[in-house]
Amino acid sequence: MQQSEPTTASTRTTAVLIGLLFLTATVTFATAEALTDSVLDGPDFLTGASEDTNVLATAALLALVQGVAIVGTAVFFFPLLKRESEPLALAYVGLRVAELAATLFYLATPLLVIKLADGRDDSVDPSASQPLGALLESQRSVAVLMIYLVTSVLGLILAFLLYRSRLVPRPIAILGLIGYPVLLAGSVLAAFDVSDVTEGAGLIALVPGGLFELILPIWLIAKGFTFPGAAVSPAP
């Protein structure tokens, strides 16, 4: 029996790498958010942020890891996705880079809090700590919204290409085709201050896409890709 390219070994390794990078990105961003929230949710948090330097530095580091991981998924996905549509595959890679830029804007928040907390007695009037804190909270909210907006578009592209190529079972791709438009709608509403995708009922917009980003990597690690078009012919 002779199987056409791509070889099972190479694609299996790629599938595992993509799955691990997806899970890494999800876990590190969720943890960075939780750590950042634990500091920024406190009243007048700048006055005591010097005690939370390690927490904030860890959050910034995890956000950076998440940014690298998401770009990694695009790098490994591109050779497979371009077989279905090279323009869309390039758009997917470009949007992942844009997501990295939004992530860098996000990690600037804990770094700025560390800087302001360390130099607060010399450079920041105590009466200004609350307005500055509100400004930093707003920066974080805008960064998260930017990440979700970009993710919703690139996720829709990915789900569409996976659906067309059948690299994974179509129900998984359909979950992405449903989840990312929901996330996009929630993010647009949040941009107009109608809802908030970081708390309350607005969190519902994250659920379908979040399930996709959990199920997809688990499937890739456990089963790998499928290639319906790969012909198998008997040996002469």
pLDDT at position 234: 41
pLDDT confidence of residue 4: 44
pTM of the complete model: 0.86
| Residue 50 in this model has a pLDDT that exceeds 60 | yes
More confident residue, 114 or 221: 221
DSSP 206: G
List helix spans (H) across the chain.
Answer: 8-40, 53-81, 86-118, 120-123, 129-165, 170-191, 207-222
Task: Round to whole Å and give the CA distance between 39 and 198.
Answer: 16
What pLDDT, in 10s, does the model give residues 51-102? 788 999 999 999 999 999 999 999 999 999 999 999 999 999 999 999 999 9
Q: What is the mean pLDDT of residues 190-206?
A: 80
Cα–Cα–Cα angle for 49, 52, 55, nearest 5°? Answer: 135
CA distance 33 to 104: 14
- pLDDT, tens digit, 9 for 90 and up, residues 112-167: 888 887 654 445 556 667 778 788 888 999 999 999 999 999 999 999 999 999 99
